[in-house]
C-alpha cells in the first residue's frame, strides 16, 4: 500500500510539473487508470497525459500496460483521452490512437456532442491533427454539427489560422465558409471574434468578398460589429477600405453600432481610438436601445486610458450622459471589475480640477497682461531668445510628483517637456518603434527620418513648428526636439468650448494654414506635412497658428509594417491614398485635400 501511495504521489508530481521524462517509467508501473486531481481537474491519468507536451511515449506505455480501454474512459465533461488528445496534440498522437482503437473512436461524441474532429479544429497549437483526421475519415466529418450547431469549420475559424481555411477550401470549396452555425454565425463571424490575431478573418474577407461583412447573425450583428468587439485597428481599417465609413454606423444587437462594440473591447484599445478618428467624437454619445452610449460602455469595460480618451473627445459633457435608467458614465465605472478604483479616483480628481479651472484661467490671463505690459521705464519685455541646437545633454522636466511632464500623446509616441544643458526648455517627442521589421529595416527607417529632420531644421516660418534636431534614444526609439509652444490645438479648443469656430476664426486660421502650406510646397524639393487636421494645428497665446506633428514617425512604421498602415488620419486622406498599390505616394495635393477636410472639421467639430 505504501508503495502504491508513493507511486501515485510521484505521478501527481510529474504531471503537475509537466515532466514527461519522469512520468514515463511511472506509467509502466501503474496497475490501473487511476483518477487523480491535477490543477483542479479530476480525471484519469490517461486524460491528464492527453494534455502533456512530449507525452506520446507515456500514452504508448499506458496502452501497453493497461490496454487500449484506458483511452475510452469518460471524465466529468464526457470527454475521452481521444477528445483531449485531438485538442492538444499533433497528428503522430492520432496515429497512435488509431493503431490502438481504429477509426470509430474519432466519431464518438463528447462534451457538447463534439467529436475528435471538432476538438482538433479547436487545437491552437497545430492543425496537423485536423488535417490527418479529415484525410483518414473523409470530408463528411467536417459537416457534422455539435449540439450548438457548429461544424469543425466554424470552430477552426475561431481558433486556428488561415492555413486551415485554405485546407477547407481545397476539400470543400468556399461555400462552407457561408454555412450558418450557432447564433446563425458563419465562419466569417467566428473568425471576427478571434482575439488572438486577425489573419484568418483577413483571409476569409479576401476570399469571400466584402458582402460577407454585411451578413447578420440572429442577434443582428455583422462581422464588423464582432471584429470591433474582439480585434484591433487593422481590422477596422480593412472594413473601412472594403465598405466605407458608413458601415460603422449600422446598428446591431440592442441598436449598437461598431463604436459600442469597440467600447466593450477588453483586448484592444486601438479599435475604439481609430473609430473615434473616423466617425468623430459624436459617435461616443450615440445611444442604443437602453440609452447606453459607447462612453458608458468604455467606463464599464475598458481601462483608464480609454476613459481619458473618451473625456478628451467629448469634454465635460461626457459626465452628463445618462441611459434610460438615469445612470451616468461614473455609475458604469462602478461596475468595472478590473479598473473601478482607478477610474472613480480619476473622475473625482478630474471634476475637482475642472471646478477650479475658471479661477486658474483668470490668473493666467492677468499674468499674461502683466508680462506684455511696458515696465516702469516704458520698455516691453525682451523678445524670446532663439533656441540653441548645440546641446549635448538634456533631461525630462518633472512635475510636483516627480513624474515626467507629458504634453501630448499619439499613436506613435509621447511628447514631454525637457531642459537642455543650454538652460532652455524644449519639447521632445519619444517615438517607440515596436515594429515587425528586422534591425536593418528599423535602422534604415531611423536614418531616413534623421535626414528628414535635418532638412526640416532649415524651415523658417512663423506658422510652422521649429524643428531643432533628432537623435537616437535608447535601442529602438527616436527623439525629435522642437520648440515648446504655449497654446492648444484647434481640436482641444473646440472640445473645451464645446462648439465649432465661427466663420471669422475659420477664415483667419485658414489664411495662416495656407501661408504655411504654400511655404512648404514651394520649397525645393517640396516638403509635405502628411497629417493636416485640427489636432495637429496649434494656436498660441498670440493668435498665431503653428503646424505641428509632421508625418515623421508614421513614415517609419509604414516602411516597416506594411500596406495597411497609413501615414495620415483615415478620414483626412485623399482618395488616391486608398489605392491597393503597395507604395502610397503622397504629394502636395494630399495636404490640400486634408486642409479642405480640416476646414470642415473647424466648422462642424466632426471629421468629414
Which residues does the annotation place in the binding site?
429
Q: Which three cell numbers stand for residue 239?
A: 472594413
435 in Cβ contact with 560 (< 8 Å): yes
Secondary structure of 33-50 in HEC code, one letter for each residue: CCEEEECCEEEEHHHHHH
CA distance 133 to 311: 53
Determine the Cα–Cα distance for residues 467 and 520; give it in Å rounded to an integer. 14
What's the rounded Cα separation, in Å, for the pair 202 and 237? 11
Helix (H) or strand (E) holding 546: strand 545-547
Q: How many C-beta atoms lie closer than 10 Å to residue 608's C-beta?
A: 15
The answer to whether the bond into 525 is cis (omega within 30° of 0) is yes
At CA 346, angle to CA 343 and CA 347, rounded to 5? Answer: 85
Contact in structure between 415 and 407 (CB atoms under 8 Å)? yes
Q: Radius of gyration over alpha carbons of the chain, in Å?
A: 30
Nearest C-alpha neighbor of 205 from the set 194, 220, 191, 225: 191
> Considering only CA atoms, which of 502, 508, 494, 492 is closest in space to residue 543?
508
Give the span between the Cα atoms of 606 and 278, in whole angstroms.
9
Cα–Cα dist 530/551, whole Å? 5
Angle, helices 304-314/270-279, rounded to nearest 10 degrees: 10
Do 427 and 510 touch, CB atoms closer than 8 A?
no
- Are 411 and 454 contacting, i.e. CB atoms less than 8 angstroms apart? no
Separation between Cα atoms, residue 360 and residue 599, nearest integer Å = 31
Diameter of the chain by CA atoms?
Answer: 106
Binding residues for ATP: 429
Q: What angle do CA 51, 56, 59 make, to 5 degrees?
A: 80
The residue ranges of DSSP E strands in 412-553, in sequence order, are 413-420, 425-432, 467-473, 477-482, 487-489, 537-540, 545-547
If one counts every other C-beta atom within 10 angstroms of the C-beta of residue 164, the result is 23
Q: How many CB atoms lie within 10 A of CB 72?
A: 16
Residue whose C-alpha cell reads 466519431 in the numeric block:
107
Please give the C-alpha separations between residue 406 and each of 295, 415, 428, in angstroms, as whole numbers.
24, 6, 10
Which residue stretches of 425-466 are H helix?
A: 439-456
CA dihedral 366, 369, 375, 376 (to 10 degrees): -60
- Tell me which DSSP letter residue 414 carries: E
Q: How far apart are the first and last CA of the chain?
A: 79
DSSP letter at 472 equals E
Amino acid at each position: 500500500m505504501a508503495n502504491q501511495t508513493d507511486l501515485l504521489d510521484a505521478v501527481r508530481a510529474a504531471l503537475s510539473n509537466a515532466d514527461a521524462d519522469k512520468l514515463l517509467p511511472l506509467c509502466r508501473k501503474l496497475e490501473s487508470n487511476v483518477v487523480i486531481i491535477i490543477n483542479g481537474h479530476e480525471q484519469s491519468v490517461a486524460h491528464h497525459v492527453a494534455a502533456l507536451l512530449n507525452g506520446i511515449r507515456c500514452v504508448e506505455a499506458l496502452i501497453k500496460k493497461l490496454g487500449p480501454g484506458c483511452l475510452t474512459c469518460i471524465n466529468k465533461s464526457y470527454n475521452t483521452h481521444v477528445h483531449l488528445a485531438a485538442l492538444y496534440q499533433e497528428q503522430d498522437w492520432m496515429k497512435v490512437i488509431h493503431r490502438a482503437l481504429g477509426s470509430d473512436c474519432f466519431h464518438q461524441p463528447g462534451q457538447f456532442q463534439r467529436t475528435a474532429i471538432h476538438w482538433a479544429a479547436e487545437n491552437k497549437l497545430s492543425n496537423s491533427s485536423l488535417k490527418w483526421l479529415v484525410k483518414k475519415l473523409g470530408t463528411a466529418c467536417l459537416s457534422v454539427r455539435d449540439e450548438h450547431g457548429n461544424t469543425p469549420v466554424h470552430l477552426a475559424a475561431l481558433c486556428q489560422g488561415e492555413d486551415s481555411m485554405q485546407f477547407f477550401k481545397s476539400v470543400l470549396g468556399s461555400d462552407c465558409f457561408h454555412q450558418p452555425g450557432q447564433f446563425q454565425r458563419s465562419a466569417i463571424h467566428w473568425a471576427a471574434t478571434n482575439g488572438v490575431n486577425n489573419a484568418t478573418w483577413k483571409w476569409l474577407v479576401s476570399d469571400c468578398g466584402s458582402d460577407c461583412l454585411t451578413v447578420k447573425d440572429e442577434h443582428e450583428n455583422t462581422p464588423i460589429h464582432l471584429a470591433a468587439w474582439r480585434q484591433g485597428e487593422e481590422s477596422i481599417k480593412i472594413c473601412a477600405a472594403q465598405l466605407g465609413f458608413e458601415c460603422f454606423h449600422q446598428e446591431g444587437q440592442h441598436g449598437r453600432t461598431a463604436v459600442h462594440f469597440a467600447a466593450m473591447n477588453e483586448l484592444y484599445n486601438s479599435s475604439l481610438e481609430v473609430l473615434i478618428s473616423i466617425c468623430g467624437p459624436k459617435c461616443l454619445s450615440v445611444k442604443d436601445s437602453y440609452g447606453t452610449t459607447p462612453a458608458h460602455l468604455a467606463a464599464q469595460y475598458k481601462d483608464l486610458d480609454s476613459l481619458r480618451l473618451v473625456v478628451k473627445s467629448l469634454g465635460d459633457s461626457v459626465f452628463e450622459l445618462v441611459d434610460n435608467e438615469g445612470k451616468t458614465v461614473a455609475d458604469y465605472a462602478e461596475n468595472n471589475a478590473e479598473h473601478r478604483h482607478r477610474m472613480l479616483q480619476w473622475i473625482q480628481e478630474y471634476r475637482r480640477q475642472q471646478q477650479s479651472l475658471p479661477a486658474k484661467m483668470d490668473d493666467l490671463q492677468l499674468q499674461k497682461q502683466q508680462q506684455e505690459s511696458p515696465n516702469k521705464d516704458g520698455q516691453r519685455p525682451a523678445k524670446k531668445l532663439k533656441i540653441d541646437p548645440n546641446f549635448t545633454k538634456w533631461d525630462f522636466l518633472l512635475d510636483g510628483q516627480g513624474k515626467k511632464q507629458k504634453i501630448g500623446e499619439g499613436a506613435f509616441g509621447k511628447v514631454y517637456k525637457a531642459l537642455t544643458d543650454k538652460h532652455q526648455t524644449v519639447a521632445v517627442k519619444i517615438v517607440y518603434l515596436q515594429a515587425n521589421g528586422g534591425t536593418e529595416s528599423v535602422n534604415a527607417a531611423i536614418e531616413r527620418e534623421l535626414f528628414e529632420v535635418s532638412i526640416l531644421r532649415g524651415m523658417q516660418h512663423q506658422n510652422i513648428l521649429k524643428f531643432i534636431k533628432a537623435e537616437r534614444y535608447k535601442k529602438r526609439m527616436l527623439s525629435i526636439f522642437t520648440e515648446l509652444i504655449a497654446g492648444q490645438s484647434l481640436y482641444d479648443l473646440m472640445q473645451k468650448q464645446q462648439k465649432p469656430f465661427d466663420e471669422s476664426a475659420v477664415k483667419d486660421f485658414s489664411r495662416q494654414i495656407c501661408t504655411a502650406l504654400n511655404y512648404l510646397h514651394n520649397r525645393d524639393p517640396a516638403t509635405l506635412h502628411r497629417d493636416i487636421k485640427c489636432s495637429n494645428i496649434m494656436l498660441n497665446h498670440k493668435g498665431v497658428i503653428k503646424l505641428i506633428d509632421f508625418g515623421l514617425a508614421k513614415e517609419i512604421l509604414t516602411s516597416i509594417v506594411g500596406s495597411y498602415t497609413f501615414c495620415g488620419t483615415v478620414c483626412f486622406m485623399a482618395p488616391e491614398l486608398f489605392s491597393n498599390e503597395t507604395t502610397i505616394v503622397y504629394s502636395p495635393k494630399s495636404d490640400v485635400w486634408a486642409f479642405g477636410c480640416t476646414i470642415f472639421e473647424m466648422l462642424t467639430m466632426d471629421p468629414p
